[in-house]
Structure 1
Amino acid sequence: MPIPSIQPIELDCAADDIALQMTRWLSHLRAERRLSPKTLEAYCRDVRQCLVFLSEHWGARVTLARFAGLEASDVRAFMAMRRADDIGGRSLMRALAGLRSFGRFLEREGVGKVGALSAIRAPKIGKSLPKPIQMAAARRLADADERAGETRDPWIWARDAAVMALLYGSGLRISEALGLKRRDVPLPGAGDVLVVTGKGNKTRMVPVLQNVLALIQDYVAMCPHSLPPEGPIFVGARGGPLRARIIQLTMERLRGALGLPDSATPHALRHSFATHLLGRGGDLRAIQELLGHASLSTTQIYTGIDSERLLEVYKTAHPRA
């Protein structure tokens, strides 16, 4: 299936030559790098904001030749402007990554070399540990009976319970769970593995518990809409693909009912999956594969959570603590 082309970029602050190269750059990222639409949108927005700033900073429209002559002081001034807008370190790092990607593309195409971008040190970002949900609460989130008081159809209760159980039981991202087709999910007793498509269109195999498959099958049996093998297994109230926002709203309602903090989100179930596995002696490399992390350093944040838990136990139990 051909990948849709990027719409031509239009910029009031820049000349046509740099707008054309931006369009070609984004098309390259989509077709060859397989970046997600959200990442492409963020990169485009960051580079556009930089060009707007440079146009005001220099007092003229930005041309390709002028952009290629960018100096480190210009980049620092742009980063300082963004920092003044209360932009966090992570967003600044993404903006710099987008600008560097655009610069590398221009160099490969032989139309400019923006050396100043590589001279800028990436901003430091504070390490924030994920906030997993307690094991008992995570199990209750996957219980359809917790929704019995809601004025919604029982099949929707069953659907939400199945999605929550899948997020916690297999550590999926919500986009991965909602992207599953019916043919991707085996019947209870007929298999115990899912093939999911994660970031960058990368596929991986993850185990799935039989009781989770049973919850999914309960939902399928109750669902009033047709669920063809090639269609999404999780659908909305009208039969279309289920949106992530619906599950987020469900979680918000359950937070109040179960007395959970605001950090209890659908993604927190994925954090809980990894944290609880590690706490039970799970191997870090295996958890990396299950989560679909490209780098082990991404998975290692969960060792920090486990260390905190061990320290709490020490402080509570040691007679001299």
Structure 2
Amino acid sequence: MGEPAVVVQLPVKRPVRKRRKKPPQNIDGIKYFTENQIKLIRKTVRDKANLDHAKANVTGIREWMAIDLITSTGLRVAEASDLCCGDIRCGYGQSEIYVRDGKGGKARTVQIPASLKKHLSHFLKWKEERGEGVSYDDHLFIGQRGPWTTQAVQQLVKKHLKVLGLYESGKSVHALRHSYAVQLYRQKRDLRAVQKQLGHASIQTTQIYADVTSEDIQDQIKGIW
């Protein structure tokens, strides 16, 4: 008798399950600071800048410029640290910042308020008076070791949050971007405007900011009975 035939079982192909797209989070799923907390952060850093200016110390001046920039535009930390002087468009009839290389390599223009336009104009003049380059490709933020990195911006934000007792894990510089988006949406309830300012590719990403915030609820429940 011959040897029994060997039966080879081929692996059964299982159907590939498609991952369901996650629905947009509500606002409870992101970390952000309240309006009063942002105002406190801004005032604290601005006051420090005024003291440093009186002492001819440059640290506070640069840090206040960075905090004002991020909280007034919602720029990503990498976009803020990569900003060059030529990206500031504060001429007559202009109030905007050009982001050369945003997320996904996409460029965009971000509108800025008059207060930030004035601050940026003064900061550029201050840089020039110090002998720092202000040409098109010169970085806006320069330290002793050269242009600021994303880590440098993250650390300065973390430092001030710790001083104010507002720091917690996962709630730092990116939370400032979320805070800007929340407040911008509350102004006019215009999701498209928020999407353009933040540089979101899809309106679905922006949708999280359309949820009701705890501040909105507090305003509505005041004196309910």
TM-score, with length taken from structure 2 = 0.75
Is 1:145 the counterpart of 2:51 in the alignment?
no
Residue 202 of structure 1: aligned partner = 106
Aligned to 1:19: none
* Counterpart secondary structure, 1:195: strand
- The one-character-per-residue Cα deviations of 1:60-114 (angstroms, maximum 9, x if unpaired) are xxxxxxxxx9955xxxxxxxxxxxxxxxxxxxxxxxxxxxxxxxxxxxxxxxxxx
2:166 maps to 260
Answer whether contact 1:156 1:237 (CA < 8 A) is retained.
no
The structure that is helix-richer by fraction is 1
Structure 2 partner of 1:172: 75
Given that 1:129 and 1:302 are in contact with CA atoms closer than 8 Å, whether structure 2 keeps it comes out as no
CA contact (8 A) 2:50 2:61 kept: no
- 1:131 maps onto 2:31 in alignment: yes
Task: Name the aligned partner's letter for residue 234 of structure 1.
Answer: F
CA RMSD of aligned residues (A): 3.1
The whole-number CA distance in structure 2 between the counterparts of 1:248 and 1:234 is 14
Matches within 5 A, 1:1-321: 72=14, 118-121=16-19, 127=25, 129-142=29-42, 143-146=45-48, 154-187=57-90, 191-196=94-99, 197-223=101-127, 224=130, 225-238=132-145, 240-262=146-168, 264-304=171-211, 306-319=212-225
The residue type paired with residue 193 of structure 1 is: E
* Long gaps (5+) in structure 2: 1-10
Change (3 A) 1:200 1:153: farther
TM-superposed CA distance for 1:310, in Å, is 3.3
From the superposition, tell whether residues 298 and 126 of structure 1 become closer, same or farther in structure 2 (CA, over 3 Å): closer
SS at match of 2:124: helix
CA contact (8 A) 1:171 1:273 kept: yes
Q: Which has the higher contact order (CA 8 A, sep 6+)?
A: 2
Instruction: State TM-score, norm by structure 1.
Output: 0.55
State how far apart, in whole Å, the 2-side matches of 1:141 and 1:70 are.
60
Q: Write the distance in 1 (CA, Å) between the matches of 2:24 and 2:183.
A: 24
Aligned AA for 1:211? S
Q: Secondary structure at the match of 1:206?
A: strand
- Stretches of structure 1 that go unaligned for 5 or more consecutive residues are 1-68, 73-115
Distance 1:191 1:123, change over 3 A: closer
Q: Percent identity?
A: 25
Contact 1:172/1:291, CA 8 A, preserved across alignment:
yes
Change (3 A) 1:314 1:188: same
